[in-house]
Amino acid sequence: MDFSFFSKYYMFFLIGTKNTVLLSICSVFIGVILGLFISLMKLSKSKVLNIISSVYIEILRGTPILVQLFIVYYGLPTLGIELPTFAAGIMALSINSSAYVAEIVRAGIQAVDKGQMEAARSLGMSSNMAMRYIIIPQGLKNILPALGNEFIVLIKESSIVMMVGIPDVMYNTNIVRGNTFQPFEPLIVAAIIYFILTFTLSKFMNKIERGMAVSD
Ligand code: ARG
């Protein structure tokens, strides 16, 4: 194996990493906000909102993210909605992620023992107060680690955006493969970059999780 290409091409990997990180951060951020709304719809008592949110979640989780990306990037322009490439990538990733986040939030809230709500209500709290001071703080303990996980998943899934020409780690790796005529080694570099990103993040999440466990 010959990694001597690295000194000449490291900028490709650096820029790719920057774009991958940027893309993932924007996508989790928007995905979490969207997902929160969807989970509220799913948790609400309104049948209509329940159905809308369920359909949204099932369709997004039941179709490949590549198809969703292509629909956003190639499909929307025919409807007159033309997005810059990077924005299309963020949109596809964040919409996809929102469906998963919605389920994470719903499951996290519903996992709080229902005795907690009953106890809060019997102490005279309104159900909104109980939600705010009792249920949500406890639900957060279930939700936060899973959201960290979603971030890790997105870093890896974001490699799909190379298909529409966003210069992320994977796209730039392919450029290096082509330029150097080395089909293999650049991929090892890409794998190492992704691994460093996800491993660091997962160690960081473990730390936060342990911190939260202390208060139990
Ligand atoms: N690989 C899956 C697909 O092609 C996407 C999974 C996305 N997962 C997530 N937690 N955002 O559909």
SS3 of 80-146: the string is: CCCCCHHHHHHHHHHHHHHHHHHHHHHHHHHCCCHHHHHHHHHCCCCHHHHHHHHHHHHHHHHHHHH
Per-domain boundaries in the chain: 6-215
Q: Identify the CATH number of the domain defined by range 6-215.
A: 1.10.3720.10
- Provide the whole-model pTM: 0.92
The pLDDT, as a whole number, for residue 216 is 66
Q: Is 65 in the pocket of ligand 1 (CB under 6 A)?
A: yes
Q: What is the tens place of the pLDDT at every residue in 152-191?
A: 999 999 999 999 999 999 999 999 999 999 999 999 999 9
Q: What is the 109 CA–ligand 1 centroid distance (Å)?
A: 22
Q: What is the 157 CA–ligand 1 centroid distance (Å)?
A: 7
Nearest residue (CA) to ligand 1, atom 5: 65
Q: What is the 97 CA–ligand 1 centroid distance (Å)?
A: 8
The pLDDT, as a whole number, for residue 215 is 67
Q: Name the one residue in this structure whose structure tokens are 């970059």.
A: 193
Question: SS3 helix, strand, coil % of the chain, rounded to 5?
Answer: 85, 0, 15
DSSP 184: S
Residues in the chain predicted with pLDDT less than 70, given as ranges, are: 215-216
